[in-house]
Amino acid sequence: MKLWGGRFGKEVDKTAEEFGASIPFDRNLYRQDIAGSIAHARMLAKQSIISPEDSNTIIAGLEKIRARIEQGEFEFRLDREDIHMNIEAVLAEEIGSAAGRLHTGRSRNDQVALDVRLYTCSAIVTIVERIANLQETLLKLAQKWHGVIMPGYTHLQRAQPVLLSHHLLAYFEMLQRDAGRFYDCYTRTDVSPLGSGALAGVPYPLDREYVAEQLGMNAITRNSLDAVSDRDFVVETLSAAALCAVHLSRFSEEIVLWSSGEFGFIELDDAYSTGSSIMPQKKNPDMAELVRGKSGRMVGNLVSVLTMLKGLPLAYNKDMQEDKEPLFDSVETLVNSLTVFNGMVATMQIRTGTLYRAAQGSFATATDIADYLVKKGIPFRQAHEISGKLVKKCVEEGRTFADLKLEEYRMLAAEFDEDILLITVESSLGSRKTTGGTAPEQVANALTAAENLLMETRDWLKEKNTGQDERQ
């Protein structure tokens, strides 16, 4: 008989039972469900709602069930619908009537809300850890290749020279914003809804703060209706995951381009490449392409949950069962993407000479020539036109700025002097001294700042990992 079957006089249709069951996926919440039940049982005894003996018996039974699940000796049954009822039913088989007291002052509505919040907090810590690992790799590579010059791009056209380390730190900054979004999401997720009941609270003298403390959570919810129906934290997590995936996708696109014969900037390690079944010469950047492709799944998961929520009245609705699979999938996909991407980037080889030649031979100092004329008193728009004519001349004659003589410069503007010949990609880099620019000293400052940000992230992780240990 169903644990809720007292009202019903007819068995559930088997097709409907299979359709409605969530145990195939919410079994992933067993640790969180047991942790929440243990905290609830302790609180019930503390408040004299159940006896200490029953509480201890319940806790021992739950710990035994957790061990059985982790040893692969627990049978998850579809007819018991979800993780909560699977555990409660087996608990009754294990300890008898005392199990029936565990659900006092609790509903599956606030129970599942707690489980998903606990899971999400743990997932956020894991994701931020992977983000920090990738940031550390980027930082090490930026330090190693500090001084390597490459062309910067706009519209996928060579634009101005930049340091490779500056380019890598741009992705460090994206990941830092990703980590910040997950920090914020963690704060709003780390709130206990237990004690809200089905929707209206419960008629028992529960100590909700005690339960939150037992679980290492920082606060309790303020409104029972909102508590059982709130999935904002799931949306926020999926949103942060989707945007992080988009950042990885953008970097992946550059890796695909850079590793091509047309660019030739990098070579990926064999361990992160694949070959062709028909073309022996091929070395494909499949891992980068997969990371790029999987970003679409995570964007889709976000849209799926937003669409599910948009028409729901208060309070809990069965539709909310559909929050878990997208959440589980995005967490797993992002963690795996960050892990694989980290290994791929850490082992790729940089062709520094190719990067430098690409920067030097692409008229990347054209803006510097215009700025030179501005300093000589020529309005920028006029200086821009003169520099453009120089580029046109070089393109038509198959030459570069380095091939031009002073006399050829002066044919377009008498203000050109000998020092125009001193403009190089190196001088261009050195002139970009504004904060956040690509000048070597500014990038050195950025490397130091990145080290400090990474240390702050590691401190956050240390604090949150300590809290996660308390919840196990």
Residues with active-site annotation: 155, 276
Neighbours of 406 (CB within 10 A): 13
Distance of CA 432 to the CA centre of its chain: 32
Q: Which residues is 151 bridged to in the sheet?
A: 161
Neighbours of 214 (CB within 10 A): 21
- Amino acid found at 228: V
Calculated CA dihedral for residues 362, 365, 369, 372, nearest 10 degrees: 180
CB 99 within 8 A of CB 91: yes
CB 390 within 8 A of CB 401: yes
* Strand, coil or helix: 288: helix
- For the record, the structure tokens of 262 come out as 């047309």
Query: DSSP state, 203?
Result: S
Contacts of residue 254, Cβ cutoff 8 Å, sequence gap at least 6 = none
C-alpha to C-alpha distance for 276 and 71, rounded to whole angstroms: 41
- Compute the radius of gyration of the chain from its Cα atoms: 30
C-alpha to C-alpha distance for 420 and 373, rounded to whole angstroms: 9
Neighbours of 188 (CB within 10 A): 15
C-alpha to C-alpha distance for 405 and 73, rounded to whole angstroms: 82
Q: How far apart are the first and last CA of the chain?
A: 31
Q: Which residues is 349 bridged to in the sheet?
A: 267
CB 233 within 8 A of CB 117: yes
Q: Where are the beta strands (DSSP E) in 166-214?
A: 191-192
- For the record, the structure tokens of 165 come out as 């380390």
Distances (CA, A) of 460 to 31, 132, 341, 392, 467: 23, 11, 23, 54, 11
Element (H, E) at 366: helix 366-375
CB 279 within 8 A of CB 311: no
C-alpha to C-alpha distance for 260 and 257, rounded to whole angstroms: 5
CB 345 within 8 A of CB 285: no
Element (H, E) at 220: strand 219-220
